[in-house]
Chain A
Amino acid sequence: MEVVVNQYNLNTQINFTVFQFCRTRHIYLPCFCYHEKLSIAGNCRVCLVQANNNLIASCAISVVDGMNIETMSKRVIYARESVIEFLLINHPLDCPICDQAGECDLQDITLIFGIDRGRFYDLKKRAIDNLNCGGPLIKTIMTRCIHCTRCVRFLNEVCGINNLGVLGRGLNMEIGTFIKETTFLSELSGNIIDLCPVGALTSMPYAFTARA
């Protein structure tokens, strides 16, 4: 397949998604919901690229012959800034006390691809109750969640338990357990701490021992 990426003619034989293809060519695209080992969700919309003058979520769309992909055009940069701005509307300003600060995907991506000013001063940030999950292992601060659903997909696909799910839609969307107090009956559940791109799921024994 002949693909044009940022005016370079490139070839591929494999059925990549646009995101994976750009990764193999060392073109860095931001992502929250995409993860190599999990299924593709495409709901964070931060990996937007321009393909044949349309904005597409690159992690969910596969490369087609003759595609003309722009990853750093003015329109893409502006769209990305807008998406990140929307993510940051309801993200609390917890960074100084957050355990994830410094290894946070949201911080990095906002620094590199984000807008340099905020415009939503009038809106009140939405707060969400914390979950009680995983007993003494996983600490949740669900207000920080950006709904990438990596944890939901990991528990469903790798652990094989469906304790976490997405409840509500739009502004009322939240990641939650269906039953109020749930223990994840899986020995791999601690991995959602590493998967979480923000500080919504952190390690409880590690909290306040080394950082913050």
Chain B
Amino acid sequence: MDALGSAIRVDVVSNKIVRILPRLEESVNEEWITNKSRYIYDSISIQRLNYPKLKYNLKFFVIS
């Protein structure tokens, strides 16, 4: 889930992603993944961005 293209395994429990683990891929990520890739999964269920937002004067505005 990061820009490296790491091989990952996504674990799902009842329609919810609960964990992301690395898979062995010698040419890309060996067997490690970054923390960003490992912990990004709450952005899908909890902290999801539904609208694009524009930061202006340190405040966010919903834009279409």
User: Quick check: A206 and B35 within 8 Å, CB to CB?
Assistant: no
Q: Does A187 contact B (CB under 8 A)?
A: yes
B18's nearest neighbour on chain A, judged by CB, is: A210
Flag if A187 contacts B36 (CB, 8 Å): yes
Q: Tally A-B pairs: CB < 8 A.
A: 37
Would you call A206 and B34 a contact (CB within 8 A)? no
Does B11 interact with chain A (Cβ within 8 Å)? yes
Q: Are A158 and B32 in contact (CB under 8 A)?
A: yes
Interface string of A109-152 (1 = CB under 8 A from B): 00000000000000000000000000001000000000000000
Is there contact, CB below 8 Å, between A194 and B21? yes
A190 engages B18 (CB within 8 Å): no
Write the chain A residue with the least CB distance to B35: A190
Contact of B35 among A37, A137, A158 (CB under 8 A): A137
B30 pairs with A191, CB closer than 8 A? no
Task: Known A158-B32, A187-B36, A210-B11; judge A194-B19 contact (CB<8 A).
Answer: no
Determine the interface band of chain A, counting residues with CB < 8 A from chain B: 10 to 19
Nearest-CB distance from B51 to chain A (Å)? 25
The answer to whether B34 and A37 touch across the interface, beta carbons within 8 angstroms, is: no
**Residues 29-45 of chain B, each 1 if its beta carbon lies under 8 Å from chain A, else 0:** 01111111011001000
Is A188 part of the binding interface, using a Cβ–Cβ cutoff of 8 Å?
Answer: yes
When the two chains form their complex, are residues B35 and A209 in contact, meaning their CB atoms are under 8 A apart? Answer: no
Chain B residues whose C-beta falls within 8 Å of the C-beta of A20 in the assembled complex: none
Contacts of A191 in B (CB 8 A): 22, 32-33, 38
Q: Is the CB of A37 within 8 A of B39?
A: no
Interface residue A68 (Cβ < 8 Å from any Cβ of B) = no
Contacts of A210 in B (CB 8 A): 11, 13, 18-19
Given A37-B30, A210-B13: A190 and B39 interface contact (C-beta under 8 Å): yes
- Check A194–B35 contact: CB distance below 8 A: no
Residues of B within 8 A of A (CB): 11, 13, 18-19, 21-22, 30-36, 38-39, 42
Extra 8 A-B pairs, beta carbons < 8 Å, given A188-B34, A203-B19? A37-B31, A188-B35, A190-B34, A190-B35, A191-B32, A191-B38, A209-B13, A210-B19
